[in-house]
Amino acid sequence: MSSLTVEGLTKSFGATPVLTGVDLHVPEGSLTALLGPSGCGKTTLLRLIAGFEDPDSGTVVLGDRVVAGAGRRVAARRRGVGLVPQEGGLFPHLTVAGNISFGLPRRQRRDGGRVRELLTLVGLDGALADRAPHQLSGGQQQRVALARALAPEPSLVLLDEPFSSLDAALREETRGAVSAALAASGATAVLVTHDQAEALSMADQVAVLRGGRLVQITDPRTLYRRPGDLDVAAFVGEAVVLDADVRDGRAHCSLGALRYEPASPGGLPGGRARVLLRPEQLRLSAPVPTAPVARVRRVDFFGHDSRVWLDLPDGVRVSARLDGADVPAAGDDVSITVRGAALAFAAVDAAAAAAAVDAAAVGPQPGSA
């Protein structure tokens, strides 16, 4: 396996710019998730890495080998890149064994040992080797597609939203099996997804694309807890974003005087700001005079936990995440306390992202379709 390094990559289709100077490094043996909304350039970046498209400028380097840019263009079939597409892309006229061994030398195809080894690696019974793709479940098909991609021991494995067609339970099971197989094989991999939970749970690092640019790349925990801006914050999880006034070492907002950490390494001047909390930081209790009181507007019950929508006296609406077994009812009055510190953004830095964050924080309104 090899590392992947992308520098200054740009790509336009006609007069429409899609990527505008992307720099990305994927260390050998790691998994990086490319996360972003539809149309942000994720799939285009994947196609440039694979060799299905040529960049307008910039370079793609696998290990120490330049495969695109700097006057070189290595054909896709010679890059040593394995691809797992959205729907698996298995050949319907071949068996599972035939699909996995398709790109192997003739001797290994006859031997069958590599096929058995790969089926074990992706968590499938060797008895499936003689089945046709249509005789497999969707999750099994995706695992076979991964086995096929890993068979020739590629320098890099690319996964293009491979779980998007699976139902929720099967998706979780399959991505766990795929993660384990990639780790066991020592593969260097890039996963394209718009699913935040998928990116945060699977990847060693997450690269967030927005408008053709890489706006933040870091480990999942840092991305969730210290997003680079409010737009990223709202995209990678539920966000409670409030206007605040920073003074006397506290951020004063609708939820009271909060402890805060500045989002910028340079600190935060006093005055207007916007603070970020995650819904799980909000704790609810019976009304007390020492904490802000809100009215429960509605409760979304998910079994393992619940989302509680709350109306504050000043008209601001926020959400809290609570254990599923102990939640208030719509119409109840509750007090809100905050666990941990808020993340504070200077108002001037927050202005550009405010509209997008407001929409994400409020979420669907009661009675809406």
pLDDT digits (tens, 9 = 90+) for 46-90: 999 999 999 999 999 999 999 998 888 999 999 999 999 887 789
Give the pLDDT confidence score for residue 348 in this predicted structure: 61
Q: Is the pLDDT of residue 356 over 50?
A: no
Q: Is the pLDDT of residue 345 over 80?
A: yes
Give the pLDDT confidence score for residue 213 in this predicted structure: 93
Give the pLDDT confidence score for residue 238 in this predicted structure: 92
Residues 108 and 255: their CA atoms lie apart, in Å, by 65
First to last CA, the chain: 48
Q: Domain 4-225 classified CATH 3.40.50.2300?
A: no
Residues 6+ apart with CB under 8 A from 255: 242, 277, 282, 292, 312, 318, 336, 338
Q: Is the pLDDT of residue 365 over 60?
A: no
Give the pLDDT confidence score for residue 293 in this predicted structure: 95
Residues 117 and 104: their CA atoms lie apart, in Å, by 13
- Full DSSP string of 273-333: EEEEE-GGGEEEES--TTS-EEEEEEEEE-SSEEEEEEE-TTS-EEEEEEETTS---TT-E
What are the pLDDT digits (tens) for 254-305? 999 999 999 987 777 778 999 999 999 999 999 999 999 999 999 999 888 8
Domain with CATH 3.40.50.300 in the chain: 4-225
Domain with CATH 2.40.50.140 in the chain: 230-362
Q: What is the mean pLDDT of the chain?
A: 88
Residues 32 and 18: their CA atoms lie apart, in Å, by 20
For 230-362, CATH number out of 2.40.50.140, 3.30.70.120, 3.40.190.10, 2.30.30.830 equals 2.40.50.140
Phi, psi of 109 (to 5 degrees): -65, -40
Closest CA to 336 of 360, 357, 318, 314: 318
- At residue 359 the predicted structure's pLDDT band, cuts being 50, 70 and 90, is very low
Residues 155 and 124: their CA atoms lie apart, in Å, by 23
Least confident segment among 82-91, 119-128, 224-233, 350-359: 350-359
Least confident segment among 152-166, 189-203, 339-353: 339-353
Closest CA to 261 of 249, 271, 252: 249
pTM of the model: 0.85
Number of C-alpha atoms within 13 angstroms, CB side, residue 175? 27
Tell me the helix, strand and coil percentages in the chain, rounded to 5: 30, 35, 35
Give the pLDDT confidence score for residue 171 in this predicted structure: 85
